[in-house]
Amino acid sequence: MRSQYYQFLYTLSLGDYILDAKPKEISEIQRLNYEQNMSDAMAILHKLQTGLDVNVKFTGVRVFEYTPECIVFDLLDIPLYHGWLVDPQVADIVKAVGNCSYNQLVEKIISCKQSENSELKHCVQR
């Protein structure tokens, strides 16, 4: 119970920090966009207790598919990095992965496994 209380306080403090970090002099359009982003961020802050889902792309350490979870980091001006990169010297893998995100690759693998095409099945089993 005590741990949940501290997690709640942490989330509350982070929410307060995001609210305090609001830019002072911005246009009406920027203000509306910022308010929507803040609303979206507040809706997912509770997920910080268990972890956020981000969808990496394999073409660079800072390349992600933009998801609502990324908003929290944007509002706090915290850069995100990952280490899931394709070795550029392995041409077959570079070609197979392309510009796909992790989720897109998982969908492709599932689709290939369900396909009747033996060539696609061979590709997935490698």
The confidence band for 50, taking pLDDT boundaries of 50, 70 and 90, is confident
Q: Report the C-alpha gap between 69 and 53 in whole angstroms.
A: 7
Q: What is the pLDDT of residue 124?
A: 46
Higher pLDDT pick, 98 / 14:
98
Residue 65 backbone dihedrals phi, psi, to 5 degrees: -75, 135
Residues comprising the chain, all counted: 126
Return the number of other C-beta atoms located less than 10 Å from residue 31's C-beta.
13
- Average pLDDT of the chain is 82
- Please tell me the least confidently modeled range out of 30-34, 80-84, 89-93: 30-34
Residue 103 scores a pLDDT above 60: yes
Q: What is the pLDDT of residue 68?
A: 85
- Residues 6 or more apart whose Cβ sits within 8 Å of residue 3: none
pTM over 0.85: no
Q: What is the pLDDT of residue 117?
A: 61
